[in-house]
Amino acid sequence: MRSYNKGFKLYIVQLICVLTLGLYQLEWGSWQIETNILSLLPTSSHQQDAAKAKTALFQQANQRVTVAISGERSIAAYRELAEVIKTFDGIEYQEIKLPEISDVIAFYAPYRDSVLTPNYQQLLSSSLALNDFVIGQLTQISNPFVSGSLAIAPRLNLADFLYNGLSSLQSFDTEQGIITVTQQNKTYYIMPIKVDVDGFSVKQTQLFSQQLQDQFARIEQRFQVDLLYSGVLFHTAESSKQAEYEMSTFGVISLLAVLLMILVVFRSAVPVNLAVGVLVIALVYGLTAVVTFFDQLHLLTLVFAVTLIGVVIDYCFHAFVSINENGGLKSIRTALFLGFFTTALGYAALIFSPLILLGQVAVFMIFGLLGALLTVLFLLPSLPLKKPIRVQPVIWQITGKLQSVLLCLNAKRMVISFLLIVILGVTVAVDEVNFNDDIRLLNSSPAALINNEIAMAKLMGYQHSQRIVITAPDSEALLQRQETLLAKLAQQDGLKVKSIGSLLPSVARQQQSNDLLHAADLQQRFSPGLASLGLTDSVDAFKPLTLAAFNEGPLQQLAELYIYQYENKYALWVETSGTPLNTELISWIQEQNDISIDDKPGEVSAALTKYRHALLILFAGAVLVVAIVLCIRFGLYNGLLGLLPILLSAGSALLLTQALLGHLNIFNLLAVLLILALAIDYVIFYQEHSLRRHTVLAITLSAISSALVFGVLALSVTPAVQSFGLTVMLGILFVFILAPLSAPKVTEHNDLEKHRYGHVHE
């Protein structure tokens, strides 16, 4: 019976633990898959409160789909689409439900003398003005607010308040109960649809999107109408479809390419099977760690995680090349450990990054590589292999030639390094490093969907619309701050403002209104008008309308739309449109801690800039860690010599990427950190084993496989993934050429071989 060593037994125990945890997370874990790229980005750090409030207030926006139908048979098309949508589970046609005017008036009756419009306040100074106002209102051909409230509020301040309050919140006309927008003599019939997109699978998003798009196409054809649609749903469905496609395609292509290479080199299926086994274990480790540490697993994390294949295969190649040679796996154990340790340290810096994506990728890679390392070191040597893994002689011959070339390069390393430094320096001086953090450059939605969004924004008048969010510890403070903001906004001409303040003033403002009415009543300002109507009425004592009371009334849906309570705090939003906010207003808002403009693309771009700077600091930190590790292990001179190709490769990759793409972004910097991690492995192996054929072969195979994997990512249509892949691929090529420069000199190399293994390898 075969006896197993302690390391192997421990390996099996921990493998079982990881598999059990993985199965538990798969079956009972609370994690879910996330597809929105913006969800990966940090919330506005200086206003965490505002960010939370915005998420709470605008979460419904992600569920909204808007359809605009135009053409001769628009109404018939609209009705049929509405009927079909009613039959879909999870998709809801949101019919306009207007509250009964009589209910609204009855609700406000107890507060009738606490509400005034600014215009009515101005009238209070003159009996004549008040009388003219009342007569003007009463002679209107039809004003349901006047008709309905005359009996309970004959001063008509309530009718004026409700009419103006509701009108200011109403953006659109209606026809036969349908919202309409007229643009260039063409009427568009607007259908709001709500899609239940909370916590369901990616497949369901795609299903909803497909269901709706099929119906839109059918309705367009059947009724010969033009149909425009917009909504986050369609972008999510498209991007998730694209990510899934890329993940499966790229994953399969890179895996097949790498496996083919193994077959060519070793002419045996054993290394293929072993490599697949190590990869599977690495993936299980990586995924288990991510779903354990994070509530969400982003699809983009999985796309980036394809790179794990390249690094894991690197370990496998070192193991396969050395397993049946002198010293076996023990000879590379130190280099593997050191490589993993330094790489993990590099990634560990990312865990503390505020970008969730970086954190997820780092955790996935660290734990995936740990799984691969443990498997290579403890499982592979214990496996009973019928046939030893041997490199084909022809491969050794090719490696020998490559080794000669690398030795030549190594002999001229000072010249090559100097030349590269000069070239990089001149390039940077001539063509400045150009970073562009605009999030819109990373948008991968199809042009048709983006055009639809633009057309819908124009139609609905959202082009210059902005949402301003206010947060406060209580509802009264919230409403008072809103009134301060509204007063500021009123100073800009042409600005249209929508806010709940037109129907729910603060208690302080209501008290002030009540006081004004009392004062005007005492001065007999209402008496002539009331007398001419044959009516008498006195001003009520103050009774405040609170948010709690408002929430119990017929306009509760409006309160829900504009005001949100979260974590014992309150938030509301005010919408401006018609013209962009002027610089004075923007500056004023930026000075307020509790008021902020909701500008997601702007905020994300600003966040990207901020975190790009943070990444540069992290990058410097990682370089320092690597330098320390290398200097400790190999001495100051060799340590710095090892650092040189790493830095030169990263710099060259970045500059070449800029030359190809025109600019750099945060994902190129992320790629640099990965280049660093991969390059460390190569440099450590060259430093540990010099330019031995085994090392050259293992690193060559690793570099080819990594370049294949990352080269595939450069073909992605997602700009973030594409720029990442391109930089890493270029970086790997540079590292492959430059890392051998750090190896000990040829004479030293032979001495080293003799010293370590008692002979010089052929």
Partner 1 sequence: MAKLLRILGLTLLLSARVNATELSPSINSLAQFNPLTVATGTFVQNKFFTVLKNPISSTGNIYFDQKLGFIWETTQPIYSAMILKQDGLYSVDHLQQVKRIKNAGSIAAILMNAISGDVATLSKEFTLSENNKNQCVQLTPKNEVIAKVMRVIELCGSGTVEHLVLFETSGNRTEIDVTLSAINQLPEAARAQLQ
Site of interaction with partner 1 (CB under 8 A): 98, 100-102, 132, 135-136, 138-142, 144, 147-148, 150-151, 154, 167, 170-177, 182, 185, 533-535
Cβ 63 to partner 1 shortest distance, Å: 25
The Cβ of residue 669 has, within 10 Å, a number of other Cβ atoms equal to 22
Q: Are 495 and 581 in contact (CB under 8 A)?
A: yes
Half-sphere exposure (Cβ direction) of 365: Cα atoms closer than 13 Å? 31
Instruction: Considering the complex, state which of residue 101 and residue 344 has its C-beta at the smaller distance from partner 1.
Output: 101
Query: Which residue, 180 or 211, has its beta carbon nearer to partner 1?
Result: 180
Q: Which one, 140 or 404, has the nearer CB to partner 1?
A: 140
Nearer to partner 1, 177 or 199 (CB): 177
Nearest distance in Å: CB 171, partner 1: 7
**DSSP tag of 664:** B
Nearer to partner 1, 12 or 101 (CB): 101
As measured in angstroms, the least distance from the Cβ of 284 to partner 1 is: 59
Residues 6+ apart with CB under 8 A from 493: none
Work out how close the CB of 520 gets to partner 1 at its nearest, in angstroms, rounded to a whole number.
19
- Length of the chain in terms of residues written: 762
Query: Is residue 473 within a helix (H) or strand (E), and if so which, with residue range?
Result: none
- Judged by beta carbon, residue 145 or residue 667, the one nearer partner 1 is 145
Angle CA(236)–CA(242)–CA(245) in degrees, nearest 5? 135
Tracing tokens 């003219």 back to the chain, one arrives at: 132
Identify whether the C-beta of residue 359 lies closer than 8 Å to the C-beta of residue 351.
yes
Tokens of 559: 């309160």
Tokens 């054929």, residue?
693
Cβ–Cβ contacts within 10 Å for residue 531, how many? 11
How distant, in Å, are the alpha carbons of 382, 439, 444, 620, 653 from that of 666? 43, 10, 16, 15, 14
Provide the minimum distance between the beta carbon of 133 and partner 1 in the complex, in angstroms, as a whole number: 8
Nearest approach, Cβ of residue 532 and partner 1 (Å): 10
- The DSSP call for residue 97 is -
For residue 156, the minimal CB distance to partner 1 (Å) is 12
**CB of 83 or CB of 173, closer to partner 1:** 173
Closest distance of CB 49 from partner 1, Å: 34
Closer by beta carbon to partner 1, 161 or else 317: 161
Residue 412: which residues within 8 A CB-CB, separation 6 or more? Answer: none
308 and 283 in contact (C-beta within 8 Å)?
yes
What is the Cα 188 distance to its own chain's centre?
33
Q: At what angle do helices 693-713 and 232-266 cross, to 10 degrees?
A: 160
Residue 244 to residue 239: CA distance in whole angstroms: 8
Cβ partners under 8 Å of residue 138, min gap 6: 146, 150, 156, 533
State the SS3 of 265-317. HHCCHHHHHHHHHHHHHHHHHHHHHHHHHCCEEEHHHHHHHCHHHHHHHHHHH
Reading the block at residue 635, the tokens are: 């001495």
Closer Cβ to partner 1, 134 or 356, answer by number:
134
Distance in Å, CB of 186 to partner 1, minimum = 12
**Residue closer to partner 1, measured from CB, 458 or 613:** 458
- Rank residues 182 and 484 by Cβ distance to partner 1 and give the closer one: 182
CB nearer partner 1, residue 187 or residue 213: 187
In the Cβ-directed half-sphere of 525, how many Cα atoms lie within 13 Å?
23
Give least dist CB 46 to partner 1, A.
38
CB of 177 to partner 1, least distance (A): 6
* CA angle 172–178–183, rounded 5-degree value: 50
**Reduced to 3 DSSP states, what percent helix, strand and coil does the chain have, rounded to the nearest 5?**
70, 10, 20
Report how far apart, in Å, the C-alpha atoms of 726 and of each of 656, 682, 732 are: 9, 20, 10
> Which pairs from 403-411 meet CB under 8 Å and 24+ separation?
403/691, 403/693, 403/696, 406/691, 406/696, 406/740, 407/691, 407/746, 409/737, 409/740, 409/741, 410/691, 410/740, 410/741, 410/743, 410/745, 410/746, 411/745, 411/746
Q: Which is nearer to partner 1, 134 or 684 (CB)?
A: 134
Nearer to partner 1, 51 or 75 (CB): 75
Please enumerate in sequence order all residues whose Cβ is within 8 A of that of 691, keeping only pairs 6 or more positions apart, or say none: 403, 406, 407, 410, 740, 743, 746, 749
Q: How far is the CB of 560 from partner 1 (least distance, A)?
A: 21
CB of 503 to partner 1, least distance (A): 15
Closest to partner 1 by CB, 99 vs 544, is 99
Shortest separation between residue 543's beta carbon and partner 1, angstroms: 22
Please, what is the minimum distance in Å from the beta carbon of residue 502 to partner 1? 13
